[in-house]
């Protein structure tokens, strides 16, 4: 099988043709330098992505949904499971940017964290 992968390490965006047999890389062609090698190898066999989403937050004065992300990339094929995992969760402020929302997200060894602060909506008009 030949898999085509675009290297995203620099703006040149070389298009690599990766020959794979039995989940083993047999050959890579099309890269202009060695810096794209690790990225293309990893992307060909075990692609990963940072998981991004939002979770509803009740009672915050500045936002109605809290953006969240994993600290590190997780396997790409877990992204959909990640969406299911957070469905139905509702949060309450205060939450600080970087605060862990779900530890060891999907048993990946990385945490799901808040991407911004959420401050409580305190009505001080009384
Ligand atoms: S292979 Fe090298 S030159 Fe090509 S996109 Fe990747 S980093 Fe840039």
Report which ligand 1 atom has the smallest distance to the Cα of 9. 7
The verdict on 65 and 35 lying in the same domain is no
- CATH of residue 66: 3.10.530.10
How far is residue 84's CA from residue 86's CA, in Å, rounded to a whole number?
A: 6
In a domain, 38, yes or no: yes
pLDDT one-digit tens code per residue, 1-36: 999 999 999 999 999 999 999 989 999 999 999 999
pTM as predicted: 0.81
Report which ligand 1 atom has the smallest distance to the Cα of 16. 1
The verdict on 86 and 39 lying in the same domain is no
The verdict on 89 and 58 lying in the same domain is yes
Range of 22's domain? 2-46
How far is residue 106's CA from residue 122's CA, in Å, rounded to a whole number?
A: 34
The verdict on 110 and 69 lying in the same domain is yes
pLDDT value at position 124?
54
Do 116 and 97 touch, CB atoms closer than 8 A? Answer: yes
Cα of 7 from ligand 1 centre, angstroms: 6
> Cα separations (Å) of 93 from 64, 68, 85, 104?
10, 14, 20, 21
In a domain, 15, yes or no: yes
In a domain, 119, yes or no: no
In a domain, 123, yes or no: no
- The protein residue whose alpha carbon is closest to atom 6 in ligand 1 is 36
The verdict on 41 and 91 lying in the same domain is no
- Give the rounded percent of residues in the chain with a pLDDT score beyond 90: 90
In a domain, 58, yes or no: yes
In a domain, 122, yes or no: no
Q: Is 35 in the pocket of ligand 1 (CB under 6 A)?
A: yes
Total domains in the chain come to: 2
How far is residue 27's CA from residue 109's CA, in Å, rounded to a whole number?
A: 31
């Amino acid at each position: 099988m030949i898999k085509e992968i675009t290297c995203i390490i620099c703006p040149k965006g070389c298009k690599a043709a990766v020959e794979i047999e039995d989940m083993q890389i047999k050959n890579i062609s099309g890269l202009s330098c060695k810096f794209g090698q690790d990225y293309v190898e990893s992307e060909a066999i075990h692609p990963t992505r940072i998981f991004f989403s939002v979770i509803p937050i009740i009672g915050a004065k500045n936002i109605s949904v809290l953006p969240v992300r994993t600290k590190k990339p997780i396997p790409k094929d877990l992204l959909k499971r990640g969406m299911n995992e957070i469905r139905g969760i509702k949060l309450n402020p205060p939450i600080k940017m970087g605060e862990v929302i779900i530890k060891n997200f999907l048993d990946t060894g990385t945490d799901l964290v808040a991407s911004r602060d959420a401050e409580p909506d305190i009505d001080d008009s009384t």
